[in-house]
Structure 1
Amino acid sequence: MKQLRLDQPSADVNDVFHGDVFNDDVFDDALRLNAQWIGRKPFLVGHNLAGSDLFQLPRLREAARAILAREESGFAKDAELSLPRWKPAYAETQRLSKAQKLEKMFDELEAGTLTAACKISALNEVDPAYDAVLRSAVRQFAGDAGIRLEDVTWSILTVFITAPRLPTPFHGDFEQNFLLQIQGEKEVRLYDRENRRFFPQDAIEGLCKGDPLAAPFDEAFSDMGTLFHIKPGVGVHHPLAAPHSVTNGDSVSISVAIAFCTKEIDDLSRVHQANLFLRSVGLRPPFPDLSTRRDRMKAAFFRVISGPRDSCSALSRGYARLTWPARFVRDEIRKLRAARPGGQNPSPI
């Protein structure tokens, strides 16, 4: 794949776009005007991706096929195709290969009969056109937020295709994020990222080890937070770790999520993972504060054991490596107990 520099757009970037709706800026002036809220509070922003052929079904089908090929090759980093589970015909579709399910999904989309949802992750990993969109968006976002491009450690462009009226459950993402609407409409309810009632410390720690649904939902939250209505050409900024839920409108929705992390965000995640480990052995660590020597040391330790930040999952690699011996012993004990006469299930240790 052709390498496109983040800080210097290629002279032929427009050659990989269909149509001429794309220019060097993805977002409108609302991004600059709300710069003081970037990473702190949600806000609406306009974008110019809704008219691009890149996000219409024919091109998305091509991209999904490329992602499936990358998955099957074993070289995928973040590229992943999460396909719907059809009901009530799930038993029938379960016999289909993933490639057949992909084609079935897009056939239903084109016929207007889709009843489920899918997620096409990291289109930037398989197609330079999407990579150019991502790089342009991150460059613009970083500039308005006062972030140095060399401090951006990871970014991703993901497409969500959702059937009418389907909800997305309450969850959080440990990244800066923009959800941009391409087709259809959505209601997005975002909650205060600083309010530990919505996202307590142990839930954020669970999120940082790879569980986006770590925060328990309380029905009392239903009418809280701030409700945003997005339609084609409009998106909403999700600050780091801001819990949210999404409800699709009355037609099929296509949305683009553009997300990225920085060195500081990565280090905060590493401190949360360190705190999760300390909590597992009975301690009660305070909320992360990178201004303290204690938390800088935690971040440095997990930075070493995690290795390079070369994918989304790489950020939680250190926690998995640290806890692997305990998991191995636990699993071996369970196997031994299960092998006893009667095959009794062991109690957790």
Structure 2
Amino acid sequence: MTAHIRADAAELAANYPLRHFRIQHDLVSNPLLQLPRLIELTKELEKDRIEYNSGKVSVNQKAEETPLVDLPPEEVVAKIETAGAWMVLKRVETVPAYRAMMEEALLSIAKQLGHTSLDGASFKDIEGYIFVSSANSTTPFHCDNEDNFFVQIHGPKFFHLFDNEDRSLVSEEMLESAPSKHRNLPYQESFEARAKVYDLKPGEGVFVPYQVPHWVRTGDSYSISMAITWRSADVVRRNKLIFMNAWLREKGFAQAAPGQKPALDGMKVAAYTAARAMLEPLRRNESMRRFLRGVVFGKKANYFYEAQKAAEQKKAA
């Protein structure tokens, strides 16, 4: 079974990598992306790789007020038609079969771009995220710090995408990113006049460029989707920089936008690289990742543990 992504040659040439555009794919019937296999995947992944909550949220949802779902992960997937839930299975490329599927899909688009390898197309730091959502669920307004070929597998999905250079929507400060900052961004109804809405059906998808503001909703059926993401060297460097800007701003120091002070940017990137090198060996297991997240960044990054705690408290009551 193949795992190919296709794009119109003219749209690919005109828009990649800065603008969103529609794609097609042949992943709809892939066994790795069907509910029975996804139920098993919830048991294979480390629990901090699973995030879920109610799908009944607003586009402008406050993270601390997100309603939860009182079910274990495998039951959320098994009951997705009635659970009223939104779930993401993170970093699925850590499972070899998913990694192979993703690399084949990316290689197919790399060849359309004129490359013979993933490295040649700067498809590096590859990660996979699978979304399983009940009907009429919403993913709030946010940006992602990677490029993404997003593919729709089951059910309809409506992807509302904006201009990643429109700072009247999202400011430079709000684009700064750190684990201590939730991904949800402030949204106003007036933004919608500037949205491009992609009505995605199974077999369709969309290229979502780096830091494009967007929000997503499902239709009247449950949805399965996948984000096949990567980071080029330039994106990796910028992510280090905006992390440092966010961290320094939290300490009370105003920060210039990336590119305004190149020498200082370089120092921030070097500092991040050195600090991450020391922390990385500690992040190789779930317990230590959870501990570090709690000590350094706070405890709001993953709803699984909040849902787990709520369920335990309910049983004890």
Q: Tell me what 1:121 maps to.
A: 90
Match of 1:343 in 2: none
Moved more, 141-150 or 245-254: 141-150
**Paired residue secondary structure (1:228):** strand
Selected match of 1:132 from 100, 115, 127: 100
Question: Which residue among 134, 148, 154 is the counterpart of 1:183?
Answer: 154
Q: Is the 8 A contact 1:31 1:141 kept in 2?
A: no
**Which consecutive unaligned segments of at least 5 residues does structure 2 have?**
57-68, 285-291, 299-317
Distance 1:276 1:169, change over 3 A: same
State the TM-score, normalizing by the size of structure 1: 0.68
Count, aligned residues:
274
Give the drift of 1:208: 4.2
1:308-340 deviation digits (Å, cap 9, x = unpaired)? 8979x99xxxxxx9xx8999xxxxxxxxxxxxx
Distance 1:326 1:45, change over 3 A: closer
Mapped contact 1:204–1:215 kept (Cα < 8 A): no
Tell me which amino acid in the other structure corresponds to 2:139: T
Q: Which has the larger radius of gyration?
A: 1
8 A contact 1:184–1:252 mirrored in 2: yes
Query: 2:200: which partner in 1?
Result: 230
Superposed counterparts of 1:246-265, under 5 Å: 246-265=216-235
- Is this contact kept in 2: 1:188–1:229, CA < 8 A? yes
Instruction: Name the SS of the counterpart of 1:34 in structure 2.
Output: helix
Q: What is the letter of the counterpart of residue 133 of structure 1?
A: M
Give 2:28's aligned residue. 50
Residue in 1 that maps onto 2:314: none
Aligned AA (1:119): V
Structure 2 partner of 1:242: 212
Amino acid at match of 1:51: S
| Cα drift, residue 272 of structure 1 | 1.5
Query: Where does residue 61 of structure 2 map in the other structure?
Result: none
Deviation at 1:282, TM superposition (A): 4.7
1:160 matched residue in structure 2: 131
CA distance in 1, matches of 2:216, 2:158: 6
Once the two structures are superposed, what CA deviation does each residue of 1:261-312 show, in whole Å capped at 9, x if it has no partner? 122111111222232344345543322129933322321221111228979x
Contact 1:31 1:45 in 2 (8 A): no
Residues 1:171 and 2:139 aligned together: no
**Aligned partner of 2:50: which letter?**
L
| 8 Å CA contact 2:160, 2:195 repeated in 1 | yes
TM-score by length of 2: 0.74
In the superposition, relative to structure 1, how do residues 145 and 40 fare at CA in structure 2: closer, same or farther (>3 Å)?
farther
Q: Please, what is the CA RMSD of the aligned residues?
A: 3.4
Q: Does 2:7 match 1:34?
A: no
Per chain length, whose mean CA-contact separation is higher, i.e. which structure has more relative contact order (CA < 8 Å, sep 6+)?
Answer: 2
The question of whether the paired residues in 2 share the 8 Å contact of 1:162 and 1:254 is answered with yes
Classify the secondary structure of the residue corresponding to 1:251.
coil
Inter-partner Cα distance in structure 1 for 2:193 and 2:55: 31
Question: CA–CA distance in 2 between the matches of 1:41 and 1:295?
Answer: 26
Q: Where in structure 1 are there 5+ consecutive unaligned residues?
A: 1-19, 72-78, 88-92, 315-320, 328-349
Q: Does 1:63 find its partner at 2:41?
A: yes
Percent of aligned pairs with the same amino acid:
26
2:172 is equivalent to residue 204 of structure 1: no
- Residue matched to 1:80: 49
Secondary structure of 1:130's counterpart equals helix
Distance 1:137 1:86 in 2: 29
Equivalent residue runs for 1:260-339 within 5 Å: 260-289=230-259, 292-307=262-277
SS in 1 for 2:79: helix
Task: Report the equivalent of 2:187.
Answer: 217
